[in-house]
Amino acid sequence: MPWDRPGHFWGDHPHYYGYRIHSIPPHWRRISHWGITYYYYNGIYYRPFGTSYVVCRPPFGTPLEAAIDRAFLRAVTFAYYCDTYRTYNAVFDYYNSIARQNLQIAQQNARNAARYSSYALNSGRALTAYELANRLGLVQSYAYAGSEYFYQDGVFYTISPSGAYSTIIPPAGALVVSLPDDYEIIVMNGIEYYLVDNTVYRTTVFEGQPYLEVLGQMYGSLYNQYNIYR
């Protein structure tokens, strides 16, 4: 079993992301996050899937209760950082939370860009990605320039000064070399993209190397068109 899959077992089968089971373990804890119901037990999250359940990634903002071996995490490379606050057509509670975060991050990134020439903020790439995401109806979550981000099996993490990890919304411009096995290929405006949960990736080339780039997230009615958990 690959190291980057959840290592706990319930019954006789491994619990990789996307694995479907007919019943969840006893003593589970129910969690509601942005209108989505999760069931949690022994480090694993489950979501209802018809009459069964599916092993899923932890909801955004979840602090990890178990320690992670940092050697198994991959540091995230970014194609760009957003240093300009941008608005989107979508308006709902989840977006409003992201918008407040993005305003603060854009202001900080702009200060970093003015102070340190080492922050090569590519405004052209950021604007192009934003315009595409907005046309597709996606919302982008920004990343702090100079902060460390980590990736594992479709989940992005930040680390606090105390060493604790927390899951975050995949930030726009993040580059990864592979996607988890449960990705979906979707077509939007005649172009193929890749969907992991509600995050949309596109193929790109950065500094001569091929990557999969986080373009943005689906929410609301758009997400309902592609949501497999129905």
In this predicted structure, which of 58-62, 184-188, 192-196 has the lowest mean pLDDT? Answer: 58-62
Using pLDDT thresholds of 50, 70 and 90, give the confidence band for residue 31.
confident
Question: By the 8 A CB rule, do 163 and 194 touch?
Answer: no
Tokens of 208: 């001569």
Share of the chain above pLDDT 90, in %: 31
Tokens of 50: 């018809």
Stated pTM of the model: 0.82
- For 157-185, write each residue's pLDDT tens digit: 888 777 778 888 999 999 999 888 888 89
Tokens of 135: 């046309």
Question: By the 8 A CB rule, do 58 and 167 touch?
Answer: yes
Residues 6 or more apart whose Cβ sits within 8 Å of residue 44: 6, 8, 10, 15, 55
| Cα–Cα distance for residue pair 229/48, rounded to 1 Å | 7
Residues 6 or more apart whose Cβ sits within 8 Å of residue 174: 76, 77, 78, 79, 143, 149, 151, 156, 213, 214
> Which amino acid does the sequence have at 81?
Y
How many CB atoms are located within 10 Å of the residue 72 CB?
Answer: 11
Domain ranges of the chain: 9-56, 72-226
For the residues 27-32, what does the mean pLDDT come to? Answer: 86
CA dihedral 193, 195, 201, 203 (to 10 degrees): -40
